[in-house]
Structure 1
Amino acid sequence: MQTVATIFSGNLRKNAKKVSNFTNWTRTIISTAGDIKRGPLPNYVAEEPDGPQIKTNIPGPRSLALKKELSYIQNSDAVVFFTDYDRSQGNYIADADGNLLLDLYMQIASLPLGYNHPRLHQALRDEHNAALFVNRPALAAYPPQQWIARVKSALMTLAPPGLNCVQTMSCGSCSVEYCQKSMFMLHQRRERGGLPPTDEEMQSCLINEPPGCPDLCILSFTNGLHGRTMGALSMTHAKWFHKLDSPQPKWPIAQFPKIRYPLHEFERENNAEVEKSLAEVEELIEKFNKLGRQVVGICIEPIQGEGGDNMATPYFYRALQRISKKYNISFMLDEIQTGCGGTGKMWAHEHFNLDEPPDLVSFSKKMLTGGFYFREHHMPQEPGRIFNTWVGDPSKVIMLEEVAKVIYEQDLLKQVEETGKYLISSLEEAQERFPNMLSRARGLGTFAAIDFKDAESRDYFIHKARNKGINTGGSGEKSLRFRPALILQKKHVNIFLDTLYSVVSDMK
């Protein structure tokens, strides 16, 4: 039986012969489409290889050829290599050239159970799920009848303590932007004393004018990353290419504490750095409020996952929440990278012993779906305020439901905690052996990082390690970051350590 894709690509090839001026690159793409393997889904098992298998340089010739083809359609400069997802398994990623790498990066922190977990394939094959995979519903208007049960089974099972409301979204950036919108809406509802908006507000907002479009702000921190779309960019301060050429509002940006390591040697200095940042937060809130540009919320990552794996003390986060209470503003934690178990707890902010639940917690990546948890007072009062066509995808929530079951059945949070301790202690040993090259080993669970002496050394290591079968990623200016799946074990850490010692020993 022919698939739709087979018929479509076949028709393209047949019709292309009739067009005399059909471009060379289009012919190349069509021929590539004809090479795509089709057939029944593989019968995956929960086994993985014993170690990396390297056959070519990475990226290899097949990946380079595909990257060149893609460049005719879109900018492909960010592509590392093309992946063979059929052959990827567990903690290992396979590329288009037959190489197999231990993946400590996991699709930029996005796969909770590694590649091709059998439970997820089982959910995909379950005929009871088929209609929700085939018919992607407009959830905000036409949710499926089993939607509430799915949300409770998946999202509410994993919810941060004390947060009983959740809204699904499609990605991390839109999750953050709707959190922003929720903060603005709550503030204005309080300003109106709970009354509905006036006619003037409803009309003026349509032309981007006050009072319907008030001049409100959200405070964020240096080196933070909260997304790459326009609203989320207003709080993103990690790298220039995220923001260049995009108009942005002038909102308050406080200095994230610059923590020194090892922690026990710099306790006094770190405490002073934290207090300095907290004082600046209050000064900025006061300053903007006096200018009539009301600060309505604070947004921060528990660990700055893109801006350098920067961490602060639990006290810092407790104090930030108290500042938000003092000024009656929202306290938002962006857990898009840190959520779903990577730190050894389901949510990184659980390490902080906050006085009460945060107002909003955004999520995506390992949660497979985007969205945010929120406290009841952030519930919209009018229909359509938090709305788009899909607001998520039931198929991703079905997958997350299985992820939640596996996490609890296999006690994966405990495994992450134990593997993480081993990883970080091993990184500390490595920096003692190579003090001129490595420093600042840090992390929670397997959400970890270590610094190289400079960006060039870090990037050189990533390249050499990849060609030895280890896939990793960078963070900030010179950090190497670890974003493995929850199923990472000590044996995998040892494979990485062999490569770390081998490569760094040859570096100057």
Structure 2
Amino acid sequence: MASLLRQVARLRPVTFRLPVHSITTNAQSRASAAAAVAHDTSSPFEQPFFADEPHGPRVSTPIPGPKSKKAIAELNQVFDTRSLNMLANYQQSYGNYIADLDGNLLLDVYAQIASIPVGYNNPSLLLAATSPDMASALINRPALGNFPQHDWASILETGILKVAPRGLNQVFTAMAGSDANETAYKAAFMWRRQMERGGAHVEFSPEDLETSMNNQVPGSPHLSIMSFTSGFHGRLFGSLSTTRSKPIHKLDIPAFDWPQSPFPALKYPLEEHVQENEEEEKRCLEQAERIIKEYHNPVAAVIVEPVQSEGGDNHASPAFFKGIREITKRNNVLMIVDEVQTGIGATGKFWAHEHWNMAQPPDMVTFSKKAQTAGYYFGNPALRPNKPYRQFNTWMGDPARAILFRAIINEIERLNLVENTALTGDYLFNGLERIQQQYPEQIQNLRGKGQGTFIAFDSPKRDAFLANAKALGINIGGSGAKAVRLRPMLIFQKHHADIFLDAVQKLVSS
């Protein structure tokens, strides 16, 4: 075994280099020229993070092209392709650019539904992927609850816990975002019942034990998790019961009898609707507290996204979220912040809830996507179950993915990518604002100002906008009924924004 690991350690990743493609359209030329003029060369963020990254998109066939169509047809024989966006060639994707089988290269501002943090085939991640630690984690994947590896504490402390939200110094690792939320819900329910019994030291009654096996009270209590209208928290049974974004997610699936509270429907531009928006948030906060106090299945926890991502990129003010925190504290209910999509630098803060400047942190923060692993952070020791095996499964996460997240964190710190995202986001928002002023019917309700590159707007012809963007070399996605959402990687820079803005200008003016 030691000999094998030494052999793996001698391996080094081959430097991944795509040919630098010439810019083939006037739009790309204009974008590059604009970038050269606009960039302040004194800024450390003006130099490309990937010197050999393509200079711009290249589209030579319709998307999908003939090779992709053939491969999709083959795949469809064994795998459902009806939700397919595009068939990617990841060996030829690099940095901010995603490739397909037909030689097309698209600027990717969707990034696997916000899940790629530091670029395709990032050399630093390739190095981590070929390390002896990674090789061991991959081929000896442990059942972490029973057989954690000897350095698991070190992996957590130098990675996942290194970036833990303020006040939350422990973590339960998981497999995916839905799993992270599900286990957070379990922790909330166990905490609630433990509190009602009188503390962690109080043993379960024979009635508790017997009724739990028959899905009856008191062992299977009538408790609930409150979520918000249009929220999305996953597709497993508990997380799906709190998902309120689209019927297609929930149809035919039995759900728990859990409440939803209205999420503020803000009007834009924000500065022109201050009083109306304040009244709307006040109404929603009053409704939230009324539900917590009156709902027939007592609420153990409230879960909320800093930005409702799948539900249409719906925002609320820091005052609203502070209000939720005050309500939960006042009613002895836990607050779970779902940072699965908003976390890891996308909003110009490492965690989106940092924008709220709360005096007291949330009780739990769930994460996944850009972390390439998953779980929930917590700080209160009472949120650790009073018995072993209550919060448990075979894997309980994956050391290989935790090692990858550690490499991602190091790359974010090395390149100062959170600050880059904040600066690039301001630049991008200002560009979109200028286009909105020219075409107010085509770009509506532009939102996400001061939230890094976590930006969205409504389009009256949203689906056509997304499809036509591909023809201009832009891979982008939507959310809700009519939102166009931007989810670029943390390495997205101003020269990429120029290419994107040029494409948007063409799309809305045609």
Distance in 1 (alpha carbons) for counterparts of 2:409 and 2:153: 16
Deviation at 1:144, TM superposition (A): 0.7
Question: Does the 8 Å CA contact 1:420/1:447 hold for their aligned counterparts?
Answer: yes
Q: 2:348 aligns with which of 322, 344, 347?
A: 344
Match of 1:74 in 2: 79
Q: 2:16 aligns with which of 35, 44, 49?
A: 44
Q: Which amino acid aligns with 2:374?
A: G
Match of 1:231 in 2: 238
Q: Structure 2 matches for 1:271-290, cutoff 5 A?
A: 271-288=278-295
Deviation at 1:182, TM superposition (A): 0.6
Deviation at 1:115, TM superposition (A): 0.3
Where does the alignment leave 5 or more consecutive residues of structure 2 unmatched? 1-11, 18-49
Distance in 2 (alpha carbons) for counterparts of 1:63 and 1:251: 43
SS of match in other structure, 1:429: helix
Deviation at 1:396, TM superposition (A): 0.9
Distance in 1 (alpha carbons) for counterparts of 2:215 and 2:291: 25
Q: Structure 2 matches for 1:47-66, cutoff 5 A?
A: 47-66=52-71
Q: Which amino acid aligns with 1:409?
A: R
Question: Does the 8 Å CA contact 2:238/2:256 hold for their aligned counterparts?
Answer: no
**1:92 equivalenced with 2:97 (yes/no):** yes
Distance in 2 (alpha carbons) for counterparts of 1:412 and 1:153: 18
Distance in 2 (alpha carbons) for counterparts of 1:175 and 1:128: 25
Instruction: Give the stretch that moved more between structures: 202-211 or 145-154.
Output: 202-211
Question: Does the 8 Å CA contact 1:63/1:97 hold for their aligned counterparts?
Answer: yes
Distance in 2 (alpha carbons) for counterparts of 1:196 and 1:106: 48
Deviation at 1:41, TM superposition (A): 6.6
For residues 235-273 of structure 1, the C-alpha deviation after alignment (integer angstroms, 9 at most, x for no partner) is 000011100001112211111000111111100000000
Where does the alignment leave 5 or more consecutive residues of structure 1 unmatched? 1-39
Deviation at 1:42, TM superposition (A): 4.7
Deviation at 1:74, TM superposition (A): 2.9
Question: Does the 8 Å CA contact 2:110/2:486 hold for their aligned counterparts?
Answer: yes
Match of 2:31 in 1: none
Match of 1:435 in 2: 440
Match of 1:335 in 2: 339
Distance in 2 (alpha carbons) for counterparts of 1:207 and 1:43: 58
Q: Structure 2 matches for 1:17-416, cutoff 5 A?
A: 42-44=14-16, 46=50, 47-194=52-199, 195-288=202-295, 291=296, 293-376=297-380, 377-416=382-421
Instruction: Give the stretch that moved more between structures: 393-402 or 127-136.
Output: 127-136
Identity of aligned pairs, percent? Answer: 43
Q: Which amino acid aligns with 2:158?
A: S
Question: Does the 8 Å CA contact 1:334/1:363 hold for their aligned counterparts?
Answer: yes
Distance in 1 (alpha carbons) for counterparts of 2:112 and 2:230: 21
**1:486 equivalenced with 2:490 (yes/no):** yes
Distance in 1 (alpha carbons) for counterparts of 2:337 and 2:326: 14
Deviation at 1:70, TM superposition (A): 2.1
Q: Which amino acid aligns with 1:228?
A: R
For residues 363-390 of structure 1, the C-alpha deviation after alignment (integer angstroms, 9 at most, x for no partner) is 0000110101012231121111111111
TM-score relative to the length of structure 1? 0.89
Q: Which amino acid aligns with 2:473?
A: G
TM-score relative to the length of structure 2? 0.89
Q: Structure 2 matches for 1:5-16, cutoff 5 A?
A: none
Distance in 2 (alpha carbons) for counterparts of 1:62 and 1:144: 44
Deviation at 1:431, TM superposition (A): 1.0
Distance in 2 (alpha carbons) for counterparts of 1:109 and 1:495: 19
Instruction: Give the stretch that moved more between structures: 373-382 or 476-485.
Output: 373-382
Q: 1:465 aligns with which of 465, 469, 476?
A: 469
Distance in 1 (alpha carbons) for counterparts of 2:388 and 2:68: 47
Deviation at 1:127, TM superposition (A): 2.5
Q: Which amino acid aligns with 2:273?
A: F
Question: Does the 8 Å CA contact 1:472/1:482 hold for their aligned counterparts?
Answer: yes
Question: Does the 8 Å CA contact 1:227/1:233 hold for their aligned counterparts?
Answer: yes
For residues 441-493 of structure 1, the C-alpha deviation after alignment (integer angstroms, 9 at most, x for no partner) is 1111011101112xxx1111111111211000001111100111100001001
Question: Does the 8 Å CA contact 2:13/2:127 hold for their aligned counterparts?
Answer: no
Provide the aligned length of Structure 1 versus Structure 2. Answer: 461
Q: Which amino acid aligns with 1:70?
A: L
Question: Does the 8 Å CA contact 1:59/1:80 hold for their aligned counterparts?
Answer: no
Q: 1:499 aligns with which of 476, 485, 503?
A: 503
Runs ≥4 residues deviating over 3 A: none
SS of match in other structure, 1:207: coil
Question: Does the 8 Å CA contact 1:368/1:396 hold for their aligned counterparts?
Answer: yes
Question: Does the 8 Å CA contact 2:171/2:376 hold for their aligned counterparts?
Answer: yes
Question: Does the 8 Å CA contact 1:300/1:333 hold for their aligned counterparts?
Answer: yes
Deviation at 1:408, TM superposition (A): 1.3
SS of match in other structure, 1:328: coil
Distance in 1 (alpha carbons) for counterparts of 2:385 and 2:122: 37
Distance in 2 (alpha carbons) for counterparts of 1:136 and 1:96: 33
Deviation at 1:200, TM superposition (A): 1.5
SS of match in other structure, 1:447: coil
Distance in 1 (alpha carbons) for counterparts of 2:132 and 2:256: 49
Deviation at 1:100, TM superposition (A): 0.5
For residues 402-437 of structure 1, the C-alpha deviation after alignment (integer angstroms, 9 at most, x for no partner) is 111111121111101000001111111111110111
SS of match in other structure, 2:178: helix
Question: Does the 8 Å CA contact 1:166/1:374 hold for their aligned counterparts?
Answer: yes
Question: Does the 8 Å CA contact 1:44/1:121 hold for their aligned counterparts?
Answer: no
Question: Does the 8 Å CA contact 2:13/2:126 hold for their aligned counterparts?
Answer: no
Question: Does the 8 Å CA contact 2:180/2:374 hold for their aligned counterparts?
Answer: yes
Deviation at 1:82, TM superposition (A): 1.2
SS of match in other structure, 2:505: helix
For residues 328-368 of structure 1, the C-alpha deviation after alignment (integer angstroms, 9 at most, x for no partner) is 01001000000100001110000001121100100000011
Between 1 and 2, higher relative CO (CA 8 Å, sep ≥ 6) is seen in 2
